[in-house]
Amino acid sequence: MPTVEFEGKTYNVDEDGFIDDFNNWDETWMRYVKSVEGIEELTDEHKKVVEVLQEYYKKNGIAPMVRILSKVTGYKLKYIYELFPSGPGKGACKMAGLPKPTGCV
């Protein structure tokens, strides 16, 4: 399994750079994803998206559907793409330490 080193920490990641286990997530990981996802500055909006994702994940074991993320944060999908250029799945979920969704999606 590939690993990522950042600010003295080591994380196991999958082929697309998602963290292997949600329990290994920390603030350093957020800064790491910021650095690779082309995000200039971590704002409160980024943190809000990450918090909503994590809260939903802890309750449900999966990421929320995009429409729920959009409604709960109050951010339109277009704005989420502005915050996370790779989008809610590949960008925001990655920063929040959630796994990729699979199936007919």
* 100 touches other proteins (CB under 8 A): yes
Q: Which residue has the tokens 């109050």?
A: 74
Shortest distance in whole angstroms from residue 14 CB to other proteins: 8
* 38 touches other proteins (CB under 8 A): no
Residues 41-80 binding other proteins (CB under 8 A) are 59-62, 65-68, 71
Bin 21: left if φ > 0, else alpha if -120 < ψ < 50, else beta.
Answer: beta
Q: CB-wise, 35 or 65, nearer to other proteins?
A: 65
What is the C-alpha radius of gyration for the chain, rounded to an integer number of angstroms? 13
Q: CB-wise, 42 or 100, nearer to other proteins?
A: 100
**What secondary structure letter does DSSP report for 8?**
T
Query: In one letter, which amino acid is 105?
Result: V
Whether residue 70 contacts residue 77, with contact meaning beta carbons closer than 8 Å, is answered with yes
Residues of this chain that bind other proteins (CB under 8 A): 1, 14-16, 59-62, 65-68, 71, 90, 100-105
Question: What amino acid positions are annotated as catalytic residues?
Answer: 104
